[in-house]
Structures are given as structure tokens and as C-alpha cells.
Structure 1
Amino acid sequence: MAVRKRFIAGAVCPQCQAQDSLAMWRENNVDIVACVKCGHQMREADKQAREQLREHEQVIGIFHPD
């Protein structure tokens, strides 16, 4: 089965800053957005799964090694 990819009008790639180059599709209940110019990919799990994974976690701080 071929995966149908849709372009996101007006979106800008966070990696290469190209406009109108992001395509989106869904694989195994995960939304995938990829730039067709530089290949940068972002994945977002299903909202229900995210809520269950992070429901009781709290961020205390972020470590920045210097």
C-alpha cells in the first residue's frame, strides 16, 4: 500500500528554512513530517499515547554541559 504524503502549505522547515517543502504522512499511528529539500524529519506519536507516557512526569531542570 502506497503512503499518501500531503504538503503543508506555508510551512517552513526548522532545519533549512525552506518554505513549502514539508510533507506529512502517518505510519503506525505516528505523524511524520519531513522536508523534501534537506531530509529533516519530525515524528509525533498519537496524542493518546503521549498523554499516557508523560502524564505523571515533571521536568525539574535541563542539563547544559559547559
Structure 2
Amino acid sequence: MIKKRFIAGATCKQCQKQDVIRWCKDAINDQEWIECVSCGYHENRADAVMQAEHPQPQENIVNIVKFT
């Protein structure tokens, strides 16, 4: 199944139109890409981004904010 969502305010790199870019994700192959519905521009998400280690949130952290 492929999920498709428009990206508000995004501009196509090729045709320079705004609000025509949609993000797509294939759940079966775990692939992501963007495509322009106006001119057909297509860009795959880089493997380096997908395989990079992302920091995990630390648990039990309390931040104190003081207002003066």
C-alpha cells in the first residue's frame, strides 16, 4: 500500500510551482519519495538519510523553566 500526502507550501525543483509536491511511502518496500503532480518530477529519498542513526530521546528528563 502506498501512502500519498501533499506537502503544503513545497515548491517543485523542476517547474517551480507551489503546492504540487506530494510525499509518497510504500509500506511494503519501505521506500519514500516525492513527486510533482504538475510536471512529473520525481526524487527518491537518499539511502544515507534512511540508514542514519537517529538519536533516541532520553527517558525521565525534567526541564525546569523559570519565568521572571
TM-score grouping bracket, smaller chain normalisation: 0.5 to 0.7
Aligned counterparts of 2:12 and 2:31: Cα–Cα separation in 1: 19
**Count of aligned pairs:** 48
Larger radius of gyration: 2
Aligned-residue RMSD, C-alpha: 1.5
Percent of paired sites with the same residue:
42
- Give the unaligned 5+ runs of structure 1: 52-66
Return the TM-score normalized by structure 1: 0.63
- In the other structure, the counterpart of 1:42 is 43
- Give the unaligned 5+ runs of structure 2: 53-68
- Residues 8-60 of structure 1: per-residue CA shift (max 9 Å, x gap): 00000000001000011112222110000000000013621xx5xxxxxxxxx
Aligned counterparts of 2:11 and 2:31: Cα–Cα separation in 1: 21
> Which is richer in helix?
1
Q: Mean alpha-carbon deviation: is it higher for 21-30 or for 11-20?
A: 21-30
